């Protein structure tokens, strides 16, 4: 690469929000003395969702400069490049009327994980999915994907669906996708399960997202 070091070099990074805040990126821009960078991403890193290293928040704009063009989801829908979709918020926690606090205030002492993973809440979610599945999938013309926060939560949901199926409350087929590289904060998210885990038994199908195996069945 030495003969290219001082030549005009255009570097194009796809998914430029990923893996660009380390030493490799610094070495690239230091090596090429006459470079120009272009970055493409569907999920840019802004200050509010920035990666913090040594108490410094790093953003996509910091590495690639000003945004030259935006093509957002509404543009894609208008151009018929993606299907239309609707977003529904079900069972959100709301601030009580007359409260003097702020709805988005992080209250010290509340265990959010314990709240979100409480058995009562998980069972209500399962019952809701069973109730609306047929309608939302147009009488099962389509399949559905259910994303959860962690492997532990996934196991709890599986046990609930299994219990409800044994009670005759549904006949849904369930498969799983483990995208462990995205969940680096979850130390248990390796995508590998020991056979003694409950979800590995009784025909529970397991798929690794990165193996690109065909998924025959979803919830």
Can you give the three-state secondary structure of 6-39, one letter per residue?
A: CCCEEEEEECCCCCCCCHHHHHHHHHCCCEEEEE
**DSSP characters for 139-151?**
TTTS------S-H
Q: Is residue 26 in a domain?
A: yes
Q: Provide, rounded to the nearest whole percent, the portion of the chain with pLDDT above 70.
A: 69
- CATH assignment at residue 16: 3.40.50.300
How do residues 144-187 score in pLDDT, each as one tens digit? 888 888 888 998 999 999 999 999 999 998 877 765 554 445 44
Determine how many CB atoms are found less than 10 A away from the CB of residue 146. 15
> Which residues, 6 or more positions from 195, have their beta carbon under 8 angstroms from its beta carbon?
201
Q: Is residue 104 in a domain?
A: no
User: Is residue 216 predicted with pLDDT exceeding 80?
Assistant: no
User: Is residue 127 predicted with pLDDT exceeding 80?
Assistant: yes
| Residue 178 parent element (H or E) | strand 175-178
Number of domains making up the chain: 2
Q: Is residue 93 in a domain?
A: no
Q: Would the pTM count as exceeding 0.75?
A: no
Q: Is residue 189 in a domain?
A: yes
**Boundaries of domain holding 131:** 110-211
Both 67 and 135 in a single domain? Answer: no
Task: Check: CB of residue 56 under 8 Å from CB of residue 47.
Answer: no
How do residues 63-72 score in pLDDT, each as one tens digit? 888 899 999 8
Both 10 and 72 in a single domain? Answer: yes
How do residues 179-205 score in pLDDT, each as one tens digit? 555 444 544 444 444 444 444 444 444
């Amino acid at each position: 690469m030495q003969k290219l070091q001082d030549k005009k070099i255009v570097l194009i990074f796809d998914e430029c929000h990923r893996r660009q805040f380390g030493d490799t990126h610094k070495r690239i821009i230091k090596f090429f003395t006459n470079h120009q960078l272009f970055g493409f991403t569907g999920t840019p890193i802004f200050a509010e969702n920035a990666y913090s290293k040594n108490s410094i928040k790093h953003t996509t704009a910091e590495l690639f400069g000003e945004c030259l063009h935006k093509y957002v989801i509404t543009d894609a829908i208008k151009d018929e490049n993606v299907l239309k979709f609707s977003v529904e918020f079900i069972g959100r926690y709301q601030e009580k009327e007359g409260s003097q606090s702020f709805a988005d205030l992080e209250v010290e002492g509340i265990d959010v994980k314990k709240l979100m993973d409480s058995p009562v809440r998980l069972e209500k979610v399962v019952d809701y999915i069973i109730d609306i599945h047929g309608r939302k999938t147009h009488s099962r013309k389509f399949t559905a994907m259910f994303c959860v926060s962690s492997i532990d939560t996934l196991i709890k949901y599986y046990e609930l669906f299994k219990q409800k199926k044994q009670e005759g409350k549904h006949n849904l087929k369930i498969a799983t996708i483990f995208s462990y590289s995205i969940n680096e904060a979850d130390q248990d998210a390796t995508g590998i399960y020991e056979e003694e885990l409950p979800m590995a038994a009784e025909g529970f199908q397991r798929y690794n997202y990165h193996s690109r195996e065909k998924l025959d069945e979803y919830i």
